Amino acid sequence: MSSNINLIDSFQEFKDFKNIDRPTVITVLEEVFRSMIRKRFGTDENVDVIVNPDNGDLEIWRTRVVMEDGFSEDDDLEIELAEAHQYDPDLEVGDDYIEQITLESFGRRAILAARQTLVSKVLELEKDEVFKKYKDREGELVIGEVYQIWKKEILVLDEDGNELILPKTEQIPADYFKKGDSIRAVVHKVDMMNSNPKIIISRTAPEFLQRLFELEVPEIFDGLITIKKIVREPGERAKVAVESYDDRIDPVGACVGMKGSRIHGIVRELRNENIDVINFTSNHSLYITRALSPARISSIKIDDENNTAAVYLKPDQVSLAIGRGGHNIKLAGKLTGYEIDVYRENDEVEEDVDIEEFGDEIDSWIIDELKRVGLDTAKSVLSLTAEELIRRTDLEEDTVLDIIRVLQAEFE
């Protein structure tokens, strides 16, 4: 066997490690061998560990000072003349006696223990590297392959075989994957759990939609168009506020593309999520008007002190402003930062009655549910059919019919 210790040949496990460069592995190896030297000789201060990072060779040289016979006080640092002459007759008192330490001299048990320690240390180092790598990538887009599907989450492997977790809560409701599928998501959260990196990815985070826009719209990637804010109801609707600092560029048109060419790919990736692209403005009234698209606003009153806005619309625009399931008005509020109340324009406003006036006959939680979807007067409720009310609210059919009966009695 060669007097050199070839680490790569002796410790085959190292060829399988990912994310760790060879110099780092060699440094860990040197530290472990120095620990072995200290256990055997009591010190490593007089030992040189020489590493060749190109081929993994490692040489260990131990230096001891030659002393007169009977005058050696520390056999780990000194060697008596008679013993030194057994190896080199030309040595004299005061010379350095240098010997090479071979792998065999440590013994089989020590070598096996070293291998176990090395594997453990490199695995730990690898986990740290994976954690640091993904911690720095939070909010970035990743592509992986579905490896295993469980009830509450999906295990995804990246190109290096690192494990990524896509929880059910971070999936778009219409998402459906099978093993082997390619999947796109953003790095959402990275934690250390029991010394193992836990990397959570998401397809519902606003950052995911932003990264998709950056891929599809070169002007965003180049910084010519800025995404000011994104709000989403994953799988249902999203609103994206964009701004261009170049008057020659229409930010909305650039994001949508010719005949919707750019946004269609994003919509497909998001399982047909309805995306409204809005031109950002610092004019609050105009911003709220645009945010409530596709509804056409008749007038608006803003209370900046309380961050509330009263929006008045023609009867046929109310349902558009509220949107299916109340998503449109909810997202408009999140996008603008205002609590938006929708009011129906009516020539006979004086004949209408505030929904809260029926507190004696209708439970307060039902009134709150009606107001949540913009129905705050008796006539605004009665203008909708029972089926529409059931669809827009979380109320049961019997409850809706009772509400209609109570409100109709008011105007009979």
Higher pLDDT, residue 44 or 141 = 141
Mean pLDDT of 87-113: 84
List, for residues 231-278, the tens digit of each pLDDT value: 999 999 999 999 998 889 999 999 999 989 999 999 999 999 999 999
- Residue 307, number of CB atoms within 10 A of its CB: 13
For residue 373, is pLDDT > 90?
Answer: no
Q: H-type helices in 185-260, by residue range? A: 206-216, 218-221, 251-256
The answer to whether the beta carbons of residues 32 and 9 sit under 8 Å apart is no
* Residue 377 per-residue DSSP state: B
Higher pLDDT, residue 326 or 1 = 326
Token pair of 364 as six digits? 């307060």
CATH number of 217-273: 3.30.300.20
Confidence (pLDDT) at 237: 95
Residues 6+ apart with CB under 8 A from 242: 220, 225, 226, 227, 228, 251, 252, 255, 277, 278, 279, 280
Instruction: Tell me the residue ranges of DSSP E strands in 170-294.
Output: 182-193, 196-202, 225-233, 237-244, 274-279
Higher pLDDT, residue 208 or 374 = 208
Confidence (pLDDT) at 55: 65
Taking the C-alpha atoms of residue 221 and residue 239, their distance in angstroms, rounded to an integer, is: 19
For residue 412, is pLDDT > 70?
Answer: no
Confidence (pLDDT) at 8: 46
Taking the C-alpha atoms of residue 358 and residue 378, their distance in angstroms, rounded to an integer, is: 9
| Average predicted confidence (pLDDT) for the chain | 87
- The pTM assigned to this predicted structure is 0.66
CATH number of 281-346: 3.30.300.20
Confidence (pLDDT) at 1: 37
Sequence-separated contacts (24+) of 378-381 with Cβ below 8 Å: 378/352, 378/353, 378/354, 378/407, 378/410, 378/411, 379/344, 379/346, 379/351, 379/352, 379/353, 379/411, 380/318, 380/344, 380/352, 380/355, 381/355, 381/407
* Residue 412 per-residue DSSP state: -
CATH number of 139-204: 2.40.50.140
> What CATH number does domain 7-127 carry, 3.40.220.10, 3.90.1150.50, 3.40.50.150, 3.30.1480.10?
3.30.1480.10
Backbone angles phi, psi at 302, to 5 degrees: -110, 135
List, for residues 233-244, the tens digit of each pLDDT value: 999 999 999 999
